[in-house]
Amino acid sequence: MSKENVAVVKGIYDAFGAGNVPAVLGAMAPGIIWNEAENFPYADRNPYVGPQAILEGVFGRVLADWEGFQVVPDEILDAGDTVVMLGRYVGAHRVTGKAHNPQIVHVWRVKDGKATQFQQYADTLHVARAAGTVA
């Protein structure tokens, strides 16, 4: 089943990159539990439960705050029901104009063809500097 799980996660990134948010949300289980990295700007509402909470609390805020935001996967690792993505974020903060390119790790749990859990790890200092919240 692990190849199928990798395909689910890869499909999420492909859909997000194409701007197909309905496909991204459709790949999530109704009760998905989503956690942003500690000290990340959108971790204030952790855990997000369900696709609608993620859409409003994460995706909507990201798109409002960052110009040209993209997730750039470098590698996707197969660990059975767990899929790990190593990559970077790119974009520029809309208020400061500062670009960011932090390292990221996303850990996904997949069951029955749907993403059931997500944990983000990110260089939060890099993001805070781009957002102008720290020097």
| Stretch (H or E) spanning 45 | none
Task: Enter the pTM of the model.
Answer: 0.96
pLDDT in the model for residue 135: 80
How far is Cα 21 from Cα 93, in angstroms, rounded to an integer?
A: 21
What confidence tens digit (pLDDT) does each residue in 78-101 have?
999 999 999 999 999 999 999 999
User: Which pair of structure tokens corresponds to residue 62?
Assistant: 């990201």
1, pLDDT greater than 60: no
Where are the chain's structural domains?
Answer: 2-131
pLDDT grade, residue 7 (50/70/90)?
very high
Fold of 2-131: Nuclear Transport Factor 2; Chain: A, (3.10.450)
